[in-house]
């Protein structure tokens, strides 16, 4: 049975797959309170968000936990970020955080999934034709779910992924909104990711305008050197919820974790490098610009953090239970 996977990345092992093969075309999408068949989940072609990138969205995961029930990982943090993204743009989502969390639970149940990726998107309808930001009355919310294997591969065979530094950089922070997960922001990520694809590597790293490391096209990044863990300052990058979780886990494990300016030199010279993100989870990096990191194999500190993270998302440890919202 092959679960749906539109990135070509390996799917989860069978024991974590849904009981029956998931067909996206037969799925149900929550659209402003209505559970709508996939084929009918349409938006207006004059949607302001389609034309100008004015949508806010989230990427969330639900995992099958050790109790057998699915749980959404850090649901409230994600939904609050959706609201903040829209507020940074100047709009507001016409629901409460609790209503959106409940709707996510409903759409997971309606699709009979015990493990999935969750994509809420708040977007504007067709009422405003120019660049003026539409009113909240024009806003719509949709929530789709689908099973999705680890976005950049499952890290099998103890190998890290191959990445390259893109020529596209994160936009100058005085003219961009990196904390907001807005669809328009992602053109820059698409350009960087395309360079990686053309170079036949797995992912791109973007530098900031000063030339320091910022993040992946859809992930935050961590560097381990001399048993100390560093990650770029949050000002230029998305404030990742996985990033925050890893900072907490690594600190609890006794590691020194700090935000820092990280040069490309430090990347090439690192003991370990890994990405974090909801879709990518924790993805070890084995090669940057043709230079092997630790011979390309997954490092011990990455492994240690990964193990605790796996326990947290699967509910096997009470310590991180507050991160889970059971469906
Ligand atoms: N940076 C970017 C640009 C992203 O798109 C993502 C994915 N949301 C992340 C970082 C990681 O954020 P999170 O851990 O909250 O998914």
- Cα(69) to ligand 1 centroid in Å equals 26
Euclidean distance between the first and the last CA atom of the chain, given in angstroms as a whole number: 25
Percent of the chain with pLDDT over 70: 93
Q: How confident is the model at residue 76 (pLDDT cuts 50, 70, 90)?
A: very high
Q: What is the pLDDT of residue 5?
A: 37
Alpha-carbon 44 to chain mean position: 27
Q: What is the pLDDT of residue 10?
A: 35
| CB of 218 sitting under 6 A from ligand 1 | yes
Q: What is the pLDDT of residue 66?
A: 94
Average pLDDT, integer, range 167-188: 97
The residue to mutate among 78, 188, 218, 247, having the most atoms of ligand 1 within 8 angstroms of its beta carbon, is 218
- Cα(258) to ligand 1 centroid in Å equals 18
Q: How confident is the model at residue 156 (pLDDT cuts 50, 70, 90)?
A: low
pLDDT in tens, 193-226: 999 999 999 999 999 999 999 999 999 999 999 9
Q: What pTM was estimated for this model as a whole?
A: 0.93
Considering only residues 227 and 19, tell me which one the structure prediction assigns the higher pLDDT: 227
- Cα(234) to ligand 1 centroid in Å equals 12
Q: What is the pLDDT of residue 1?
A: 27
Q: What is the pLDDT of residue 153?
A: 80
Average pLDDT, integer, range 4-29: 60
Contact 192, 154 (CB under 8 A): no
Average pLDDT, integer, range 50-69: 97
Q: What is the pLDDT of residue 22?
A: 92
| CB of 281 sitting under 6 A from ligand 1 | no
Average pLDDT, integer, range 22-45: 97
Angle at 91 between CA 89 and CA 95, to 5 degrees: 130
Q: How many CA atoms lie within 13 A of 294 on its CB side?
A: 22
| CB of 219 sitting under 6 A from ligand 1 | yes
Q: Please say if the pLDDT value at position 17 is more than 70.
A: no
- Confirm whether 227 is a catalytic residue: no
Q: How far apart are CA 94 and CA 32, in angstroms?
A: 10
Contact 160, 284 (CB under 8 A): yes
Return the number of other C-beta atoms located less than 10 Å from residue 118's C-beta.
23
Element (H, E) at 36: strand 34-37
Q: What is the pLDDT of residue 276?
A: 98
Q: How confident is the model at residue 12 (pLDDT cuts 50, 70, 90)?
A: very low
Q: Please say if the pLDDT value at position 14 is more than 70.
A: no
Contact 55, 134 (CB under 8 A): no
| CB of 153 sitting under 6 A from ligand 1 | no
**Catalytic residue (one of 132, 181, 228, 307):** 181
Considering only residues 98 and 6, tell me which one the structure prediction assigns the higher pLDDT: 98
Q: Please say if the pLDDT value at position 264 is more than 90.
A: yes
Q: What is the pLDDT of residue 8?
A: 34
- Cα(43) to ligand 1 centroid in Å equals 25
Q: Please say if the pLDDT value at position 21 is more than 90.
A: no
Q: What is the pLDDT of residue 95?
A: 97
Please identify, by atom number, the ligand 1 atom nearest to the C-alpha of residue 237: 1
For the chain, the average pLDDT equals 93
Q: What is the pLDDT of residue 9?
A: 38
Long-range contacts of 198-203 (CB under 8 A, 24+ apart): 199/164, 201/161, 201/162, 201/163, 201/164, 201/287, 202/152, 202/153, 202/161, 202/162, 202/163, 203/152, 203/161, 203/163, 203/275
Q: How far apart are CA 100 and CA 103, in angstroms?
A: 5
Beta-strand pair 60-64/70-73: antiparallel
């Amino acid at each position: 049975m092959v679960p749906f996977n539109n990135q070509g990345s390996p799917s989860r092992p069978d024991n974590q797959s849904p009981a029956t093969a998931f067909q996206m075309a037969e799925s149900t999408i929550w659209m402003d309170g209505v559970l709508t068949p996939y084929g009918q989940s349409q938006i207006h072609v004059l949607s302001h968000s389609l034309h100008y990138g004015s949508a806010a969205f989230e990427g969330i995961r639900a995992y099958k936990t050790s109790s057998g029930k699915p749980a959404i990982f850090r649901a409230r943090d994600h939904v609050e970020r959706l609201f903040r993204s829209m507020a940074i743009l100047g709009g507001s989502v016409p629901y409460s955080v609790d209503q959106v969390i409940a709707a996510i639970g409903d759409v997971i149940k309606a699709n009979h999934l015990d493990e999935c990726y969750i994509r809420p998107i708040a977007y504007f309808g067709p009422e405003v034709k120019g660049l003026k930001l539409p009113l909240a009355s024009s806003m719509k919310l949709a929530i789709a779910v689908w099973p999705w294997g680890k976005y950049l591969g499952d890290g099998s065979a103890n190998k890290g992924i191959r990445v390259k530094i893109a020529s596209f950089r994160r936009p100058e922070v005085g003219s961009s909104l990196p904390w907001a997960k807005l669809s328009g922001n992602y053109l820059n990520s698409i350009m960087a990711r395309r360079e990686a694809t053309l170079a036949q590597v797995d992912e791109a790293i973007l530098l900031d305008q000063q030339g320091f490391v910022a993040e992946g096209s859809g992930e935050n990044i961590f560097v381990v050197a001399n048993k100390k863990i560093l990650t770029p300052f949050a000002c230029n990058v998305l404030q990742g919820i996985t990033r925050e979780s890893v900072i907490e886990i690594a600190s609890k494990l006794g590691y020194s974790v700090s935000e820092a300016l990280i040069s490309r030199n430090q990347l090439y010279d690192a003991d370990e490098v890994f990405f974090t993100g909801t879709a990518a989870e924790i993805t070890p990096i084995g090669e940057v610009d043709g230079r092997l990191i630790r011979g390309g194999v997954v490092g011990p500190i990455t492994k240690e953090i990964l193990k605790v993270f796996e326990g947290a998302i699967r509910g096997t440890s009470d310590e991180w239970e507050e991160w889970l919202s059971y469906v």
